[in-house]
Structure 1
Amino acid sequence: MPSHHRRITLKDLAHELGVSTASVSNAFNRPDQLSSTLRSHILSEAKRLGYQGPDARARSLRTGRSRIIAVVLAETLTYSLNDAVSSELLSGVAEVLDAHGHTLLLLSGRQPGSDHHPGSASMADGFIVYGLMPSDHLLSDLPPQSPLVAVDFHVEGRPTVHIDNEPACYAIADHALAQRPKRIGILCLRLTATPHNGPLTDQQEWLSAERTITRSRLDGFYRAIDQHGIPRDQVPLWNIEENIHSVCAPVIEAILDLPDDERPDLLLCMSDRIALTALTLAEQRGIRVPEDLRLTGFDGIEEGQYRAPRLTTVRQNSSEKGRMAARMILGLDEPTASRLATTLMIGESCP
């Protein structure tokens, strides 16, 4: 029996249980390598004997690997954890990392007053970059030799995980336009190179398709609009800078307060949060949905499917996006350009 006057080691525990040191290490770091019965036995005995697991610092020095994967978020940590889409993606990443004994490190691309990552980024064995980074410095700061997977974002020469944004937006717009509207409006999400919350014009610098999924979604809307014979210059665009109610509301209020003969009777929204904000503000004004105003969203978040009228939207599997990115970064799947299909969901907001 090892002495309790000193810190019990991995070798001590292995000797006490009559198993190999590799089995003890796998119980903590690679649970998929052991039966659930053996792993449970090792972990319960480790707890009883006061063994807290392999020393991460020693392992990192010995192997050159920390078993830490960093997710670099385009938004603040507060926003990313509260947002239904990003939190679903993070859940998918964590699921794979948990199963293979890795730790998740979250880094925000919007640290107040900084356009560089904290020093903790250097600890990571690999990086998953999610969304449009506010500064190019944030990517150039990352160790160039480390594996990197981009999600909803393009990084030259690196594997990516996307959804079928253009076909999905074509499908939902084609459905909405089957009932010919009098006036269409499109509510975009962060399309401009500099922050802008309001009407869009050609005079503003728009981000490229490589920089933002908004361009792909707009291309899908435009393809349907073209096929239905509607001139693009008759379809006004508005930009929304952040996908939260307080930022969406001022833009949408200005639209809904237009005179009846100017207000759109169809709004194609690039997120469910935008569409739900429009739905709430329309109801407050006595504008009936879908009788007076039809709305479409994008994402398929639960909130849009639980309230009435239920949103017509596109459902994306954000958890699977996270799992795919995590499997690539761990070398479990081939790192390549991957694209997930989406599902059109017809609700009462645009039947």
Structure 2
Amino acid sequence: MTPPNRRITIKDLAARLAVSTATVSNAFNRPDQLSPALRDRILGEARAVGYLGPDARGRSLRTGRSRIIAVVLADSLTYSLNDAVASEFLAGVAEVLDAHGHTLLLLPSRGGLRLESASMADGFIVYGLLPDPEMHQQLPSQRPLMSVDFDLAGQASVHIDNHAACLTIARHALRHRPSRPAIINLRSTLEPCNGRVIDQPLLSESQTITRVRLTGFHEALSEHHFVPDEVPMWNIEENTFDVCAPVIAEILDLPDDERPDLLLCMSDRIALTVLTLAEQRGLRIPEDLRITGFDGIAEGQYRAPRLTTVRQDSVEKGRVAASMILGLTPRESRLLKTELIVGETAP
């Protein structure tokens, strides 16, 4: 019997269950190593006697590993969890980590990294372009590091084929030749700009995926005999309704002979905001205005008219990144395919 005032240990629990301490440890940290019935029996007994699991600090000191993987977020924690694409990506990462007994640590980079938290992680997935391009150098150099949706020199990365995706959807949209096509970018300017892009310098393709998307749009426009530099562009600084709405209202409130009749949008959130505000103004979709998005989020497919968009599998992107950082698959750069979804906003 364990004395009532002493904290129960892994050895105590193993003795009660007549199993090894390694088996108890696996129940908490490597569930794939046990049968579901055995793991349930161990966890049930642990709850009954008040055992909370192996001491992570002690295990880290013994093994040099914490079994924690950090995802370094380019945006705030609130934004990342509310954003459909980012939350799906994190779900994919968490799925793989759960299956292999690892914990997910989220590190938002806006305002600086919490280096005391970062020091605990066994590896790092950097998701999206950081506010400071050199910020990743603050992370422990001896730990594995990889990037998602942008490139870090000398490191593996996971991307979707943004250029091919935007070329494909723009070619589709331009089959019904518009009179006044336009583009709504997402964070594509060197300096913050929430509005019409006139002379603002753009980020390079190595700095942001949205610049790669713009290249795809421009290639399709050239094929259809438009001069890309003469096609008007607007830029959105944050992929939320509240930030998108003022810019889109400015576009939709242009005189009839200036208002675009095709908007190529760099995200579904932008496209859905266009759709909502256009309907409020009595514009007919797609007769008066054709709209395309990018991402394939569920909201765009559940409402009517259904959004024409590019679907990227953000959950699979998370699975691939997590598998690579854990060493389950080779740590080498991957380019994932996308799917054109033709809806009613640009049939």
TM-score by length of 1: 0.96
Residues 105-162 of structure 1: CA deviation (Å, up to 9, x unaligned): 111121xxx3343421111111111111111342121111211121111111111111
1:204 CA drift (Å):
2.3
Tell me the distance in 2 between the aligned counterparts of 1:6 and 1:31. Answer: 27
Q: Give the aligned partner of residue 126 of structure 1.
A: 123
Q: Give the aligned partner of residue 42 of structure 1.
A: 42
Kindly report which structure 2 residues correspond to 1:246-285, keeping only aligned pairs within 5 A, or say none.
246-285=242-281
Tell me the distance in 2 between the aligned counterparts of 1:57 and 1:35. Answer: 27
RMSD: 1.2
Q: Give the aligned partner of residue 80 of structure 1.
A: 80
Equivalent residue of 1:123, what SS? Answer: coil
Equivalent residue of 2:8, what SS? Answer: coil
Deviates more, 1:308-317 or 1:190-199: 190-199
- State whether residues 68 and 104 of structure 2, in contact with CA within 8 Å, keep that contact through their aligned partners in structure 1: yes
Q: Give the aligned partner of residue 180 of structure 1.
A: 177
Q: Give the aligned partner of residue 140 of structure 1.
A: 137
- State whether residues 115 and 137 of structure 1, in contact with CA within 8 Å, keep that contact through their aligned partners in structure 2: no
Q: Give the aligned partner of residue 10 of structure 1.
A: 10
Residues 269-289 of structure 1: CA deviation (Å, up to 9, x unaligned): 000000011111111111111
What residue ranges of structure 1 are gaps of 5+ in the alignment?
Answer: none
What residue ranges of structure 2 are gaps of 5+ in the alignment?
Answer: none
Q: Give the aligned partner of residue 320 of structure 1.
A: 316
Tell me the distance in 1 between the aligned counterparts of 2:40 and 2:214. Answer: 51
Residues 57-115 of structure 1: CA deviation (Å, up to 9, x unaligned): 111111111111111111111111111111111111111111111111111121xxx33
Deviates more, 1:216-225 or 1:291-300: 216-225
One of 181, 189, 192 as aligned partner of 2:189: 192
Kindly report which structure 2 residues correspond to 1:1-351, keeping only aligned pairs within 5 A, or say none.
1-110=1-110, 114-201=111-198, 203-351=199-347
Count of aligned positions: 347
Tell me the distance in 1 between the aligned counterparts of 2:277 and 2:37. Answer: 55
- State whether residues 180 and 260 of structure 2, in contact with CA within 8 Å, keep that contact through their aligned partners in structure 1: yes
Equivalent residue of 1:106, what SS? Answer: strand
AA paired with 1:76? S
- State whether residues 107 and 113 of structure 2, in contact with CA within 8 Å, keep that contact through their aligned partners in structure 1: no
- State whether residues 117 and 141 of structure 1, in contact with CA within 8 Å, keep that contact through their aligned partners in structure 2: no
Equivalent residue of 2:146, what SS? Answer: strand
Residues 16-47 of structure 1: CA deviation (Å, up to 9, x unaligned): 21211111111100011111111111111122
- State whether residues 67 and 124 of structure 1, in contact with CA within 8 Å, keep that contact through their aligned partners in structure 2: yes
- State whether residues 115 and 139 of structure 2, in contact with CA within 8 Å, keep that contact through their aligned partners in structure 1: no
Tell me the distance in 2 between the aligned counterparts of 1:13 and 1:3. Answer: 13
Tell me the distance in 1 between the aligned counterparts of 2:265 and 2:112. Answer: 30
Residues 262-317 of structure 1: CA deviation (Å, up to 9, x unaligned): 11100000000000111111111111111100000000111111111110001111
- State whether residues 89 and 318 of structure 1, in contact with CA within 8 Å, keep that contact through their aligned partners in structure 2: yes
